[in-house]
A and B are shown apart, each in its own frame.
Chain A
Amino acid sequence: MLRVLQAIWQADGAFPSGAFAFSYGIEGALALRRDMTLGDFEALVAAMLKRRWASYDRVALLWSYRAGGDLEAIAAVDREVEASTLIETLRTGSRRNGGAYLASHARLGQPLAIALRDDVQAGNCLGHIAVMQGAVWSELGLDEALAQLCSGYTAASGVITAAIRLGAMGALQGQGVLQRCLPLIEQLAAQEVPDDVELSSFVPFLDIAAARHAQADLRLFAN
């Protein structure tokens, strides 16, 4: 049961990881669609889970998890993520989020996190969040299933929390959306991830919204 508790600890929004400063395109999307309904928003979160998280972040997470602490192999996954993230603010946001996440685990004394943080500072590694999570969660003893559930949960709760903070919905409306996402996360996490699959992400509306957001004069989130 300890590994389940470790997973709960890592998925808890109170765990400091810098995630609260990123909306991963949601702030831009809400600015673009002023008439977005709660149903539209829920559909957008589902699309993000299916077509960005499951086929992209989750795959990078598992590759990094399977690297079993090998710094070279982790850095290779990290470069792959860097090269295949088209939108600049999503790319830099993922790196900064990963850097903050490593800062947390490094301060807590996790040896791989310390090594990765030093590698990022030395320029040997870029520190993308999904890759860093996969690496550290494997060290913490989460199994693949728990690592995926943590990742999917934090991805969904992160964008929903951002939307609540932007005033797009009430706190409880947001929790309703999150609750309805849980079966989808479970279902997506059950899909096999072979080692030779390609990273793929296709949520053009969110990508365009993130790109436009980068140009906005006024913004609360880093992406």
Chain B
Amino acid sequence: MFHALRVSDNEARDGASAARVGIGGPVGSGKTALIEALIPVLQRRNIDFAVVTNDLVTKEDAERLRRSGLIDPARVSAVEAGACPHTVIREDPTLNIAAGDELEARFPGLELILFESGGDNLASTFSLDLVDWWIFVIDVAGGDDIPRKRGPGLLRCDLLVVNKVDLAPHVGVDLDRMLADARQVRGTKPVIPTNLKSGVGVEAVVDAISAAVLFRV
């Protein structure tokens, strides 16, 4: 498996002060639901944040977040992905970079920007030009063989979230086995099971973000 090459300090993201975190994963796995669940926890912990969504068609996810009443709508930016959800986070992340820069200019105290990918397949990965750290969200209803398929997204992400654990009994998935498989293919990198309908695992995800990029424990 390829890994990202380290860059020297002077090649790292210039001028960017807010930490940038990517949230990727297949369509419907719960990326927007995860952001909706993270918002109140981030607010309670006084973390100054904003969100950039990458919708495939229209601005559905951005509108859903803006209308949720959870977050100041000005803190949600939408980037259309031109029918290419992977291009906008990997080969050409410049629209997202510019959206992040613009949010930072508008909200000078910003500590964290979450980028929601438009939803792709198991091969999608984030460019390290764009994010410092990224989460990949899969769900149990997608099948317990997903970890064994070893997609690059699942292997290379900094945090793997296995969502919709509440659905395991309904879709005939052996959750323990699925989590064990995921941990086995990921070595020492973390895996967090979540149920975003009830909030299980959300605090643990915020802990992981805080420790990794906000240097708060």
Interface residues of chain A, those whose CB is within 8 Å of chain B, are 14, 16-18, 20-23, 96, 99-104, 106-107, 109, 117, 121, 162, 165-166, 217-222
Contact = CB atoms under 8 A, between A and B. Distances in A.
A219 B78 CA distance: 14
25 contacts: A16-B91, A16-B92, A16-B93, A16-B94, A20-B87, A20-B92, A21-B82, A22-B82, A23-B82, A96-B95, A99-B98, A99-B102, A100-B92, A100-B95, A100-B97, A100-B98, A101-B94, A103-B98, A107-B14, A162-B82, A165-B83, A165-B84, A220-B56, A220-B81, A222-B82
Q: Most chain-A CB neighbours within 10 Å: which of B88, B98, B129?
A: B98
Given A14-B91, A222-B80, A121 B14 contact: no
A184 B216 CA distance: 59
Nearest to B88: A21
Contacts of A222: 80, 82
B130 to A, nearest CB: 10
How many of chain B's residues touch chain A, expressed as a range?
20 to 34
Contact of A20 (B82, B102, B129): B82
Interface of B: 13-14, 56-58, 79-84, 87-88, 91-95, 97-98, 101-102, 105, 129
Contacts of B95: 18, 21, 96, 99-100
Nearest to A19: B92
Contact of B97 (A22, A103, A166, A220): A103
A219 B98 CA distance: 21
A107 B129 contact: yes
Given A21-B88, A103-B101, A121-B101, A220 B94 contact: no
A153 to B, nearest CB: 17
Contacts of A17: 92, 94
A104 B82 contact: no
Q: Most chain-A CB neighbours within 10 Å: which of B13, B14, B80, B93?
A: B80
A165 B57 CA distance: 13
Contacts of B87: 20
A213 B202 CA distance: 39
B107 to A, nearest CB: 12
